[in-house]
A and B are shown apart, each in its own frame.
Chain A
Amino acid sequence: MAKQLFLGDEAIAQAALDAGLSGVYAYPGTPSTEITEYIQHSKQAANGNVHREWASNEKTALEAAIGMSYAGKRAMACMKHVGLNVAADPFMNVAITGANGGLVILVADDPSMHSSQDEQDSRFFAKFAFIPVFEPSNQQEAYDMTYEAFDYSEKYRIPVMIRITTRLAHSRAGVEQRPARPQNEINLHPNKKQFILLPALARKYYNELLDKQIPMEAESENSKYNKFIEGKDKSLGIITSGIAYNYLMENYVETTCPYPVLKINQYPLPVKMITKLVDECDSVLVLEEGYPLIEEQLRGLLNRGGNIKGRLDGTISRVGELNPNMVGSALGIKQEEGSPIPEIVAPRPPALCVACPHIDSYIALNEAMVEHGEGKVFADIGCYTLGALPPYNAIYSTVDMGASITMAKGAADAGLRPTVGVIGDSTFTHSGITSLLDCVWDKTPVTIMILDNSTTGMTGGQDSHAFGKIETICLGLGVEKEHIRIIKPLKNRHAENVQVIKEELAYEGVSVIIPTRECIQTLNKRVREKSK
């Protein structure tokens, strides 16, 4: 078959389909979103009736994937790194129940925080849970490793994490496909108690999980994805993980790397291979796209040998993604550079789109808040986070999805008045509903603005589970009907909107204001598609 040009994300999606996937479960999050979108647009997925609707959040996504695996079919849950925090509970515990049908948990990390709040490295989570990791270094490996991950998962009855980072997720290259395999039939686990984590059973399964580490480590030693490349110059040995290998090789395009190299793409770590490298080299440079996971273990707290180099001793920057120049400099190879960026070049930060409904919401909110002073508006994650920037300077927090409402609550509990939570519709159904229930239960004086633009704007306009339901959800949670106020964020409604916000700020109880107007981008897209 001819090579297809695939993003790393697309290679993973296609591989999962070819491996007989029966369901993908995900909540959007850069840089993982395109995996599910690819499957949603795939004819192969439609023909196979593969489950491909978005989930409310990463926890519900992973739990549904576990359920599909329970039934014996192959399932994949996809998320960005911070999504794994939300899904941490099922993640830690499914390691102990194990999988039945092949279960792959795809996590896309974002070192350098191109579009994230942090740059956490999901390999630490996998190690914590004793879950094996496949960490491809290129698009072809992304395809091949995903294809094989389902077999591995079924062989060891364990979920497999595939860990990628932004550069692989969002870079295209030619990929060769393998023949498609049929989906599994429904087939329950022979042990009908395998998914019951009562303490007595959980202790047994936990020991089994620990026992699995031994053969899994042997798999890593023999894996074709972990390679020991001999080198004559033993003054240095190099360990790379994931795409760090490419940046190393970029520095040896015209020459060959003189040092022995251990290319690691599969975990648990191949301890024998590492021992060989460390034993035969005077010092070791560890190149990892992410936190220093391998380096930290090799070095230990004291680095008594003093010969392990990497992010911890400053050979490589402690933070951020790698690039060929950083790696070249670490190796003492002189790096070229073009001319500097002229001073006149100004930054061009992303901004809310012209005519975005959030603009009118913020202008109205700012006016209503003038008399109350600064520091009282807690926001969340989405396009509206850009309200933190000029000209709005409207919000004072954005921590994690759903935190706006609960932080406004905590600050109100502390005595701050008034406090406002600003949250998007999709973020509200992701993890704001329980926060609002806490406010209602406590009768906390907070004003919550749920910005309803009918979509998940930030990640490119995916359907929002909140669509058409926000008011009913709030009523169901027990918010008083007269304190649920729907407004239309438009310039010509400004005065009345300010008035509504002021009235609710004055109320000593839970108020919800729902500014409702569609995202301009999805509106335009709908109009364009209609005119076709």
Chain B
Amino acid sequence: MKIDIILAGVGGQGILSIASIIGYAAVKKGLYLKQAEVHGMSQRGGDVQSNFRLADYPIASDLIPKGKADLIISVEPMEALRYLPWLSKDGMLITNDQPFININNYPDESVLKAELDKLPRKVVINADQVAKDLGSVRSANMVILGAASPFINMDFSALENAVSEVFARKGEEVVNVNLACLQAGREFAEKNK
């Protein structure tokens, strides 16, 4: 078993929390894991990605080879497309559809949508809205993780436990809203995959 995931977004959108939750669950299961992160200039609105690799055998490279990623999980739609060369032919793309516009030449909504429509296997969700409805705008990343969860070879309860553990020190309220976001994302994906 192996899963290779490219996590994508813009600095500050919380892709590293997604990584730490899957990572936490994976370590509990005794899986091998490698996760290459981008540090440094990331806080300043640049693009960020993380190569996240899980397997039941030791993993060689910290970087995912092109064409081998099983999933792209993105909290921003244009950023999702940046990593298409890494997505395998039958790979799946899960992305938020809400753009983060901090550059002048950001593509029009319609062209962006047209590009996403071309992809055979995808889940495109308005994660910002779902998170807002559940009372925590900042938890859109958990909605995205929930939407990706059916495609990560791991029990949903393992991810739920990881969310509870990782957010525990922020209090019960934060844990609950993040769990609700995770659940809502999953339900959406089950219906729309």
Chain A residues near B (Cβ < 8 Å): 3, 5, 7, 30-31, 33-34, 114-115, 167-168, 170-174, 243, 246-247, 249-250, 253, 323-325, 328, 335-342, 344-353, 383, 386, 458-460, 521
Contacts and interface: CB of A to CB of B under 8 A. Distances in A.
A340 B84 contact: yes
Contact of A170 (B37, B47, B85, B87): B37
A328 B40 contact: no
B65 A345 contact: no
A115 B82 contact: no
Secondary structure type dominating chain A contacts? loop
B44 A351 contact: yes
B36 interface: yes
B1 interface: no
B66 A325 contact: yes
A171 B34 contact: yes
Contact of B23 (A5, A247, A341): A5
Contact of A348 (B23, B47, B60, B91): B47
Given A250-B65, A346-B105, A348-B103, 6 more contacts: A246-B61, A324-B60, A338-B89, A341-B82, A348-B102, A460-B39
Contact of A353 (B45, B81, B106): B45
A386 B10 CA distance: 18
A467 to B, nearest CB: 21
A250 B60 contact: yes
Interface in B87-112: 87-89, 91, 102-103, 105-107, 111-112
Contact of B38 (A34, A114, A345): A114
Interface centre among B27, B59, B65 (most CB of A within 10 A): B65
A14 B81 CA distance: 38
Contacts of B81: 341-342, 344-345
Interface string B2-23: 0000000011000000000001
A325 B86 CA distance: 11
Interface of B: 10-11, 23, 27, 32-47, 51, 59-69, 78-79, 81-82, 84-89, 91, 102-103, 105-107, 111-112, 115
B181 to A, nearest CB: 21
B149 to A, nearest CB: 20
Contacts of A350: 11, 41-42, 44-46
Nearest to B170: A532
Contacts of B32: 173-174
A323 B33 CA distance: 18
29 contacts: A5-B35, A31-B40, A34-B39, A114-B38, A115-B41, A167-B63, A170-B38, A171-B51, A172-B36, A173-B32, A174-B27, A247-B61, A249-B60, A249-B61, A253-B60, A335-B66, A336-B68, A337-B67, A338-B66, A338-B89, A339-B85, A339-B87, A342-B115, A344-B107, A344-B112, A346-B106, A350-B42, A351-B44, A353-B44
A346 B85 contact: no
Contacts of A324: 60-61, 63-65
A3 B41 CA distance: 30
Nearest to B55: A253
A328 B51 CA distance: 19
B46 A341 contact: no
A252 to B, nearest CB: 8
Nearest to A3: B27
B2 to A, nearest CB: 8
Nearest to B72: A338
Contacts of A383: 44
A338 B60 contact: no
B68 A170 contact: no
Given A344-B115, A346-B78, A353-B43, A338 B69 contact: yes
Contact of A336 (B45, B63, B67, B103): B67
Given A115-B41, A170-B39, A172-B33, A338 B61 contact: no
Nearest to A251: B65
Contacts of B79: 348
A48 B38 CA distance: 32
What are the 5 tightest A-B residue pairs by CB atom distance, in nearest-first order?
A336-B67, A350-B46, A250-B61, A249-B60, A115-B40
A174 B87 CA distance: 25
Nearest to B62: A171
Nearest to A353: B44
A325 B112 contact: no
Nearest to A338: B87
B104 to A, nearest CB: 9
Contacts of B65: 250, 323-325, 328, 335-336
Contacts of B51: 171
